[in-house]
Structure 1
């Protein structure tokens, strides 16, 4: 029986980012494809049948696919320079749970599957939970297939290069219709379990969250030949939006607003930018607060742009309403595991699936409280406790 940490050690060298630190594993790139091959081999070695769907998700079935199935899993992709546990911990814990159940001679009386969802982080094509969004129909295939990465490659082209048929992308009632219950294990992205003194927790809610692009447009020109008073420099309103985001978020109840990416065009050191793209991540407990926060920042962006003789265009790239996980599932998990329930500000595939089927989440304590960074961590004993908790849930649900 292999532990989660032993399985994580097997993939430790895949996708290491020598520049940023941590890991950069993006959907259909070399590292993520290597992880897919690793997962397929691991699942097959356990007697699971791996069936890819048309959206890049991998479904590994213990028995023949069937209705009212119990499904667990997570993702293998990462943010740029991400941590070791975000995503893969849920996948390796699912494999470890299968080992534990097999070792005790357990045979599920309901179909049971482990799933790996594609592009959960949106690190390459910008839309998070893209695999589960496509499968559930919450993102249209024509929209997804036209998404472009930093090099200009479309999602459709990336799928084709990875040996997949983009024409098969879209709603997947065959697989999602089989799911009777879904549970996702994930490293906690925060300090909730530290404060509660517990190794394992249960998710109660997910903040409403989305991503918006602010494109500030001015006049590109020569950095040395253009007097300061003759400029329409979009970098100034773009930079001004960063502190405005923090100030605006503080005016709402426990809201979060972050500028994590900024891209000038053409991006030369001695060039006044023609345009600057700024990406905003905004989250709040209430959908109305998230929308109001973005509306306020959009208005402020227009004011900043006008002051510099520039213009701005705001476009929504993704949005997910707040999630309250099924109360029956949540209460059953907390009672079964003796674990506390806690909210999370991070989005997950379980949140997408919760609109279609009873779903829940387990969290494993992160002693640093840091995620989406190389310092993300989980102790070996806590990872083992998480795998044991997941095993108990699968055992109970698949009887």
Structure 2
């Protein structure tokens, strides 16, 4: 747990609790420096790619590489384990392999993806989406944070050229297999280490309700066109529409201008929806959208809906999962996850798998997120065994 302890004071959020670490902000840049130093201390060759992702190579980059890693950013007020556990475990897996005298027969790399959570620019897994072409560099560059800074501006300030970003064929061609270790984000794991079988289909939508700004004291209730009312009804509609295993969440609302004694002129509401497949997810969103349109019309308001991101159902590579089980135990359980990951974005392009470390609280994206030290050690051992198996001379991949 020493490496995680090194990060304990970086990006603490005194208002929300937990941590706020976002792509290319001061805190995330400090974490990137920490990773670079730790990787180089282990003799790894650290190279950023053109999309801002960091790669630490054990051996020369080349085709068929075995790659692991995760991310260092967080949601606002997030926990200590989501992302950093996978990065720290990758570094310590290298330590374990070296201590045992292992020499990889294939290139081996640790990757740190930028802006996985989408906490600053609104689109999750931005680094892996850019790398795979799931988002265009033009669309990514236009994304804006709460202070009006675009992703393009932030990337440029961090030393990257937004005009050179986009699908990275050489990087994709190097990856023979990608295995991401992550803290489990629910209560689905009752042993220290498990596998992910799939990721639910999920997306983010932005609803902009427009009405008439006015004075809170001087405007009679019957004379109002208050966009906050349909916005509030959308929140309730989300809870009612999500059933049969679906999930629908409103975690962010932004009224404009945001004064206590002001009727808002507009309200932005962000919806996160997830279900077992695309038709089910989109059915949930359609029910919520219909309710939002009715509520807006009843209040004399308008509503505009924009899909900000989308990821279909991901089924992890069965052959790679079988390889992982051969390395760590055939009885290792596998479970679906409702959380998105860079491994899910890469899955459409290269074989991917995920290892989960047990979370006894069942809480994630919040300060109570946790994993026991012994379980983290078991995760490191499982990841090291997986990397050894995949990067050995006898492996068919």
For Structure 1 versus Structure 2, the TM-score category normalised by the shorter chain is: over 0.9
Give the structure 2 partner of residue 394 of structure 1: 387
Q: CA deviation at 1:216?
A: 0.5
Give the structure 2 partner of residue 53 of structure 1: 49
- Segments of 4+ in structure 1 off by > 4 A? none
- 1:227 and 2:227 correspond: no
Q: CA deviation at 1:296?
A: 1.3
Partner SS for 2:118: coil
Partner SS for 1:91: helix
Q: Number of residues paired by the alignment?
A: 390
Alpha carbons 1:87, 1:186 under 8 Å: kept: yes
Counterpart-to-counterpart distance in 2, 1:187 and 1:164 = 30
Q: CA deviation at 1:319?
A: 0.3
Give the structure 1 partner of residue 98 of structure 2: 102
Give the structure 2 partner of residue 131 of structure 1: 127
Partner SS for 2:294: helix
Counterpart pick for 1:333 among 313, 324, 330: 324
Counterpart-to-counterpart distance in 2, 1:205 and 1:29 = 31
Counterpart-to-counterpart distance in 2, 1:136 and 1:64 = 22
- 1:286 and 2:277 correspond: yes
Alpha carbons 2:209, 2:303 under 8 Å: kept: yes
- Gaps of at least 5 residues in structure 2 are 393-397
- 1:257 and 2:253 correspond: no
Partner SS for 1:40: helix
Counterpart-to-counterpart distance in 1, 2:290 and 2:109 = 47
- 1:307 and 2:298 correspond: yes
Partner SS for 2:387: helix
Partner SS for 2:197: strand
Counterpart-to-counterpart distance in 1, 2:288 and 2:269 = 12
Counterpart-to-counterpart distance in 1, 2:90 and 2:325 = 19
Give the structure 1 partner of residue 26 of structure 2: 30
Q: CA deviation at 1:160?
A: 1.1
Alpha carbons 1:132, 1:349 under 8 Å: kept: yes
- 1:238 and 2:234 correspond: no
Alpha carbons 1:282, 1:290 under 8 Å: kept: yes
Partner SS for 2:23: coil
Give the structure 1 partner of residue 205 of structure 2: 212
Alpha carbons 2:327, 2:389 under 8 Å: kept: no
Counterpart-to-counterpart distance in 2, 1:329 and 1:67 = 17
- Gaps of at least 5 residues in structure 1 are none
Counterpart-to-counterpart distance in 2, 1:176 and 1:46 = 24
Counterpart pick for 1:201 among 180, 194, 203: 194
Q: CA deviation at 1:337?
A: 1.9
Counterpart pick for 2:187 among 177, 185, 191: 191
| TM-score scaled by length of structure 2 | 0.97
Give CA deviations for 1:226-266 in whole Å, capped at 9, x if unaligned.
Answer: 1110000000000111111010002xx20000000000001
Q: CA deviation at 1:78?
A: 0.1
Give the structure 1 partner of residue 364 of structure 2: 371
Counterpart-to-counterpart distance in 2, 1:327 and 1:176 = 20
Give the structure 2 partner of residue 15 of structure 1: 11
Give the structure 2 partner of residue 148 of structure 1: 144
Q: Larger deviation: 322-331 or 349-358? A: 322-331
Counterpart-to-counterpart distance in 1, 2:275 and 2:321 = 21
Counterpart pick for 1:267 among 247, 258, 274: 258
Alpha carbons 1:267, 1:273 under 8 Å: kept: yes
Counterpart-to-counterpart distance in 1, 2:157 and 2:360 = 39
Q: CA deviation at 1:349?
A: 0.3
Counterpart-to-counterpart distance in 1, 2:115 and 2:388 = 29
Give the structure 1 partner of residue 395 of structure 2: none
Q: CA deviation at 1:335?
A: 4.0
Q: CA deviation at 1:35?
A: 0.1
Counterpart-to-counterpart distance in 2, 1:172 and 1:327 = 25
Partner SS for 2:46: strand
